[in-house]
Structure 1
Amino acid sequence: MVFEISQSAAEFYKNEFVLGNNEAVRLFVRGAEGFFIGVEKDLLEKESHIIEKNGVKFFITENDQWHFEGKTLDFDPKTESMILS
């Protein structure tokens, strides 16, 4: 799986979450009237796609990888929002 997390996005989550042993930032698909990124602190699932950036571990389970494939997650400081492109 090809998925990138920018330095600014990793830094944002590093400041937002206090991660303990075997915890990571889980990225997942949320759906309502379209698809959105869900983010939560969760126990690291070894069967997932794992990315480490700026000392923060992120993971995406196999069921959600389709939404992130070939994309980059970035943080826009002007709008204080995440951008998946």
Structure 2
Amino acid sequence: MLLEISQNAANFYKNEFSLQGNEAIRLFVRGAEGFFLGVEKDLLEEEAHVIEVNGVKFFITENDQWHFEGKKLDFDAKSEQMILS
């Protein structure tokens, strides 16, 4: 499995982004002093891997899939942080 996204994470992003039409949430790799999760609203790409949770479409392009392989994205309400593990 490429990436598991929890319902808590999907609900968090559903509340944060107002998605319309073909818009989705792109997950990508950001680099600085290491690799970090990048998130932005973007148009859904046909070639991308799509994960849909609670009506929210997330996508990861082929170039970024290596970073998400076998991981889980969850939202911790107590710390109010996303956790990619």
Q: Could you state the TM-score of these two structures normalised by the residue count of structure 2? A: 0.97
CA contact (8 A) 2:47 2:61 kept: yes
Cα distance in 2, alignment partners of residues 2 and 38 from structure 1:
16
Q: d(CA) in 1 for partners of 2:68 and 2:7?
A: 17
Moved over 3 A (4+): none
TM-score, L = length of structure 1: 0.97
Post-superposition CA distance 1:9-39 (Å, at most 9, x none): 0000000000011100000000000000000
Distance in 2 of aligned mates of 1:18 and 1:52: 16
Provide the rounded CA distance (Å) in 2 between the counterparts of 1:46 and 1:13.
Answer: 21
Aligned residues: 85
Gaps of 5+ in 1: none
Query: What runs of 5+ residues in structure 2 fail to find an aligned partner?
Result: none
Residue of structure 1 in register with 2:50 after alignment: 50
User: Which residue is 1:7 aligned to?
Assistant: 7
Q: Equivalent residue for 2:31?
A: 31
**Percent same amino acid at aligned positions?**
80
Q: Is the 8 A contact 2:24 2:59 kept in 1?
A: yes
Residue 3 of structure 1: CA displacement?
Answer: 1.0
Counterpart for residue 18 of structure 2:
18
Two-structure CA RMSD over aligned residues (Å):
0.7
Cα offset, 1:2, TM superposition: 2.3
State how far apart, in whole Å, the 2-side matches of 1:14 and 1:50 are: 16
